Amino acid sequence: MSSLNLDDFTDLIERPDGGVRRDAEARRERGAVPPGALGRLDDLGEWLAAAQGAVPVRPVERPRVVLFAGDHGIAAAGVSARPAGGAEHLVRAVLEGGRPVSVLARRLGVPVRVVDMALDCDPAALPAEAVRHRVRRGSGRIDVEDALTLEEAEAAFRAGVAVADEEADSGTDLVVLGDVSVGGTTPAAVLVAALCGTDASVVTGRGGEPIDDLAWMRKCAAIRDALRRARPVLGDQLQLLATVGGADLAAITGFLLQCAVRKLPVILDGVVSAACALVGQRVAFRAPDWWLAGQSSGEPGQAKALDRMALEPLLDQGVTVGEGAGALLALPLVQAAAALAAELPEATGPRESTEPTEPTGRVEKEKEEGDLSPEGRGI
């Protein structure tokens, strides 16, 4: 039996400060730009103010990309475009600057941290900082066996909590969260289907590097078989992660929950982080208030999870590559919302209106004709 009591998170996690959010909304109402003229950026600015507990909102100056990495045994069933055990090469490419997230992070000046939880490689092949939280070498094949033992799931979950504390203590003010894995979208889809009560076909997507129809059918069958193993343990979220998750998914779940405890906002990337967030919501219902959905990847499992958590993606670019790349694209939008909320002045005179006005010549003509009724104005 695990010594970890997930119920504690329900008491530890508070919602972002509602009073501060109302103050931010009132400040926006007094602004020189009419409410609503900036669209969703207004809401983002208010959300940030509530998360920071500050009006005006502080700029997002120390964001960080955090990527949890692992290999999944289910990849051996032919459900992925990449060979089983191939996540090490992706991690190396990220660290060497040759992946999309690396390019975007350089462009935006954001540091990238990779946390190896279950790569199927010799730990000596990677930097010591990356491998120090590793729980095991690869996660089990979830259609026929558990991904982890319960003890390993607890260790991975605690590692995620520790990483969240390290980021909060170091001054990180916003996290862009992603994963680097081979086979990871399959356990993610199983978690979403299990928690939403749907069939395998509803949540089975094509993965980060799109697979062909035959591989999709194998993936659907693997998710179906794993779902049979998941349903008996739905009441125990840690056991669920051990049964059909993986070390990286357990760590992401712990990371997300502890970020909510530490009041550290997170931008979610694709289906893997969305699935872990859904597990986190089952643990502590207030936790999703601290998370943003960065982008819509087109994966059906992600869409199902975000809908269940009432999270609307900031962008819809269909980025499926994972690694936090899609979420990182949303970071400038969040930073722009913070800047606008903080730096736009309050109105000093009559505020510009967004309401359409009638052209003077047309109004005068209608007055002369004596017809200002809705019918006469063509409304």
What is the tens place of the pLDDT at every residue in 333-350? 999 999 999 998 877 655
SS3 sequence of the chain: CCCCCCCHHHHHCCCCCHHHHHHHHHHHHCECCCCCCCCHHHHHHHHHHHHHCCCCCCCCCCEEEEEEEEEEHHHHHCCCCCCCCCHHHHHHHHHCCCCHHHHHHHHHCCCEEEEEEECCCCHHHCCHHHHCCCCCCCECCCCCCCCCCHHHHHHHHHHHHHHHHHHHHCCCCEEEEEEEEECCHHHHHHHHHHHHCCCHHHHCCCCCCCCCHHHHHHHHHHHHHHHHHHHHHCCCHHHHHHHHCCHHHHHHHHHHHHHHHCCCCEEECCHHHHHHHHHHHHHCCCHHHHEEECECCCCHHHHHHHHHHCCCCCECCCCCCCCCHHHHHHHHHHHHHHHHHHHCCECCCCCCCCCCCCCHHHHHHHHHHCCCCCCCCCC
63-329 CATH fold = Rossmann fold (3.40.50)
pTM of the model as a whole: 0.89
Query: Could you tell me what percent of the chain has a pLDDT over 70?
Result: 91
Per annotation, catalytic residue among 154, 323, 355, 375: 323
| Tokens found for residue 182 | 């081979």
Tens of pLDDT along 175-215?
Answer: 999 999 999 999 999 999 999 999 998 998 887 677 888 98
Tell me the C-alpha distance between 309 and 148, whole Å: 26
Residue 375 clears pLDDT 90, i.e. is over it = no
Give the pLDDT of residue 293. Answer: 96
Buried b (16+ CB within 10 A) or exposed e, 83-118: ebbbbbebbebbbeeebbbbebbeeeebebbbbbbb
Q: What's the order of all strands across the beta sheet hosting 174-182?
A: 112-118, 63-71, 174-182, 266-268, 291-293
Average pLDDT over residues 271-280: 97
Q: What is the pLDDT of residue 2?
A: 65
The answer to whether residue 151 is catalytic is no
Which of 8-12, 338-342, 371-375 has the least mean pLDDT? 371-375
pLDDT above 60: residue 371: no
Is the previous residue joined to 56 through a cis bond, with omega within 30 degrees of 0?
yes
Residue 369 has pLDDT above 50, yes or no: no
Residue 123 carries which side chain, given as an amino acid letter? P
- Cα 263 to Cα 61: distance, rounded to the nearest angstrom: 16
Mean model confidence pLDDT for the chain: 89
Q: Which residue has the tokens 């982890």?
A: 148
For residues 321 and 194, which has the higher predicted lDDT (pLDDT)? 194
